[in-house]
């Protein structure tokens, strides 16, 4: 039997992160689930463990460098190895340009971009210490490929994540560490529900109208399930993507063609 690999997923208490944790468990990974609220990640870990898996919940704020390093350390100590990090946690404030404040800008940069940078630093340091390569997988978005109205700050972080993915892929390749990103489209999660509601409220329209503003250009004609994204992340976490690095995989049902 092949050795079970260890993956750490941030923002794993709901939405896409939860689906990734469950998919990697189904694919035979041991999984560490990281989130700011321990109870949320513990609920997902309990479900995976009840299904015969090995899941471990850790509380950490990805904007805090020390907490991210501590989470990686705890994951490696708990499971005895460390092979994959999925830097998935993120926030998406709705920001028509005239509403952007220093606090919104700094907080979103600290979580979305800072969290990915600390995750890459902590994971690559641990892979090197363990004397083997590894896989780093970052959450970007279709909003990191094309400008989405009302998402200036969020979109900026998601464009930046594609850049960081490319630069670190080149830096870390010599250590047998790959770095790739996934770019979901419009996924049915609490984050997307909040965005659609805020856009609708700002326009004095219904939630359905708000969602339609984002979903009308999906070629496949349906919103994404979190599991659609998790399936592609599983590919990036597994051996079939070994010869792939620096790439940003669009999983958007055909909204954007790059
Ligand atoms: N839902 C969508 O349509 C899309 C989502 N994405 C990206 O996918 C990722 C996951 O998104 P969703 O599951 O939709 O979001 P979500 O809001 O439903 O879940 C995100 C999770 O991350 C956690 N989190 C937020 N800030 C954190 C922090 N500082 N430290 C630790 N955990 C933190 C939240 O508590 C939450 O549990 C995000 O990076 C998002 O930008 C990208 C494209 C589309
Ligand atoms: C939330 C997000 O990433 C969108 C709308 O693409």
Active site amino acids: 154
As a whole number of Å, the end-to-end CA separation of the chain is 40
Q: What is the pLDDT of residues 173-227, one digit of tens each?
A: 999 999 999 999 999 999 999 999 999 999 999 999 999 999 999 999 999 999 9
Rounded to the nearest integer, the mean pLDDT of the chain is 97
**Of 219, 223, 215, 87, nearest to 158 (Cα)?**
87
Residue 90 parent element (H or E): none
Please compute the mean of the pLDDT values over residues 20-33 and round it to a whole number.
98
CA of 196 to the centre of ligand 2 (A): 10
Cβ–ligand 1 contact at 89 (below 6 Å): yes
CA of 158 to the centre of ligand 2 (A): 9
3-state secondary structure of 226: helix
Is the pLDDT at 1 greater than 70? The verdict is no
Cβ–ligand 1 contact at 44 (below 6 Å): no
**pLDDT over 70 percentage in the chain:** 99
Chain-centre distance of CA 177, in angstroms?
18
Please compute the mean of the pLDDT values over residues 243-247 and round it to a whole number.
98
Can you tell me the distance from the alpha carbon of 105 to that of 107, in angstroms, rounded to the nearest whole number?
6
Asked if 186 and 252 touch (Cβ cutoff 8 Å), the reply is: yes
According to the model, what pLDDT value does residue 258 have? 75
Cβ–ligand 1 contact at 94 (below 6 Å): no
61 φψ region: left (φ > 0), alpha (ψ -120 to 50), beta (else):
beta
Q: Where are the domains of the chain?
A: 6-184+221-242
Q: What is the pLDDT of residues 129-138, one digit of tens each?
A: 999 999 999 9
**Strand stretches in the chain, DSSP E:** 6-10, 30-35, 55-59, 84-87, 134-139, 177-184, 248-251
Which of ligand 2's atoms lies nearest the C-alpha of 192?
1
Ligand 2 binding pocket, CB closer than 6 Å: 92, 141-143, 148, 186, 191-192, 195, 214
Shortest-distance Cα residue to atom 22 of ligand 1:
11
Which of ligand 1's atoms lies nearest the C-alpha of 142?
43
Cβ–ligand 1 contact at 90 (below 6 Å): yes
pLDDT band at residue 122 under the 50/70/90 scheme? very high
Q: 6-184+221-242 belongs to which CATH class?
A: alpha beta
CA of 154 to the centre of ligand 2 (A): 8
CA of 256 to the centre of ligand 1 (A): 21
Q: What is the pLDDT of residues 61-103, one digit of tens each?
A: 999 999 999 999 999 999 999 999 999 999 999 999 999 999 9
Residue in 8, 138, 191 to alter for ligand 1 test, most ligand atoms within 8 A of Cβ: 191
Please compute the mean of the pLDDT values over residues 116-136 and round it to a whole number.
98
Which of ligand 1's atoms lies nearest the C-alpha of 140?
42
């Amino acid at each position: 039997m092949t050795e079970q690999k260890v993956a750490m997923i941030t923002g794993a208490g709901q939405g896409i992160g939860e689906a990734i944790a469950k998919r990697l468990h189904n694919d035979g990974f041991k999984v560490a689930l990281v989130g700011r609220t321990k109870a949320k990640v513990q609920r997902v870990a309990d479900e995976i463990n009840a299904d015969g898996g090995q899941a471990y919940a850790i509380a950490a704020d990805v904007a805090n460098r020390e907490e991210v390093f501590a989470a990686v350390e705890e994951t490696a100590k708990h499971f005895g190895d460390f092979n994959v990090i999925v830097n998935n946690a993120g926030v998406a404030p709705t920001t028509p340009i005239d509403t952007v404040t220093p606090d919104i800008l700094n907080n979103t940069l600290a979580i979305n971009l800072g969290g990915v940078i600390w995750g890459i630093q902590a994971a690559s340091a641990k892979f090197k210490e363990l004397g083997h390569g590894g896989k780093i997988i970052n959450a970007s978005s279709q909003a990191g490929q094309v400008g989405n109205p009302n998402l200036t700050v969020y979109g900026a972080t998601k464009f930046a994540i594609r850049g960081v993915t490319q630069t670190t892929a080149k830096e870390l390749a010599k250590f047998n560490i790959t770095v790739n990103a996934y770019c979901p489209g419009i996924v049915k999660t609490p984050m997307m529900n909040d965005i659609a509601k805020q856009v609708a409220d700002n326009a004095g329209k219904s939630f359905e109208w708000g969602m339609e503003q984002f979903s009308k250009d999906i070629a496949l004609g349906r919103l994404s399930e979190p599991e659609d994204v998790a399936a592609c992340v599983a590919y990036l976490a597994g051996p079939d993507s070994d010869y792939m690095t620096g790439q940003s995989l669009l999983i958007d049902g055909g909204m954007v063609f790059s």
